Amino acid sequence: MNRYDDLVATLNQFSAPASTEPLAFGEAMDALDNKAYTFTATLAVLPFLQPIPLGFFALIGSAAFIALGLQLFKGQQVLVLPQKIRAVTLSLRMRGALVITCLKIIGFFRKFTKSRLSFLVEGKLGQQMGGFIFMAVGVLVAIPLGGVVPFKNLFPSLAVLFYCTGEIENDGLMAIFALICLVLTLIFYSLLIYIVWKFGAAAINHFFWK
């Protein structure tokens, strides 16, 4: 079984009925063994793919990505997540919908991947690249922009999925795309902050909901 098939099997296991519902995030992580970083990041990003701002859950997700990134950057082989993150639960219906979305996105990415610039996703440099991307995403998704901006975390989510796909397919170009997504996030957030500063919160409602 190759790494992509392994990821698909893991995500399908995540979306399958569990003995105890709703399923705790920590229990899903325990099934990953030594494949924790890429798969945990893929699972952790799933809730951020939907348009509704996550509120307090965004802070939990932020902590998860920062913990992932810091440990990966240091080259730690065994992933450890805080208990509060492990205790977060997702319902069977939500898990199924998120996994379907994730698999469609990763499947689309795979149409353009091949082994190239592998040094960006392999070895120590690859770990540091992934660690930086995860930590940056953790910081960005924690920035409070109010509850009126749909798809606030779209670009950070894509950054994670780009890197994870690149790591699975040994495609360093995907890591570059992930960095581009981080830059686009900064541009998007800066634009939102400027709109709020210039026109007030009412402008956000007008531009993004009407």
The residues that bridge with 90 in the sheet, in sequence order, are 23
| 73-88 mean pLDDT | 74
Query: Cα dihedral sign for 73, 76, 78, 80?
Result: negative
Q: Tally the domains of the chain.
A: 1
Nearest to 53 by CA among 130, 143, 153, 157: 153
Q: Where are the alpha helices (DSSP H) in the chain?
A: 3-15, 25-30, 36-45, 56-74, 83-86, 92-110, 123-141, 154-169, 172-199, 201-209
Neighbours of 142 (CB within 10 A): 15
| 114-122 mean pLDDT | 89
| 179-187 mean pLDDT | 93
- Dump pLDDT digits (tens) for 154-172: 888 889 989 988 988 889 9
Cis preceding linkage at 82, omega within 30: no
pLDDT of residue 204: 57
Q: What is the rounded distance in angstroms from the CA atom of residue 182 to the CA atom of residue 10?
A: 27
Neighbours of 166 (CB within 10 A): 28
Domain with 71 in it: 3-209
Q: CB under 8 Å to 115, separation ≥6 — which residues?
A: 169, 170, 171
pLDDT above 70: residue 209: no
pLDDT above 80: residue 81: no
Q: Which amino acid is at 70?
A: L
Nearest-5° Cα angle at 15, 63 to 57: 25
Q: What is the rounded distance in angstroms from the CA atom of residue 76 to the CA atom of residue 80?
A: 9
Q: What is the rounded distance in angstroms from the CA atom of residue 2 to the CA atom of residue 139?
A: 32
In terms of phi and psi (left: phi > 0; alpha: psi -120 to 50; beta: otherwise), the region of 180 is alpha
DSSP notation for 157-177: HHHHHHHHHHHHHTBHHHHHH
Of residues 195 and 191, more confidently modeled = 191
Q: What is the residue whose two structure tokens read 């639960």?
A: 89
DSSP structure class, residue 111: T
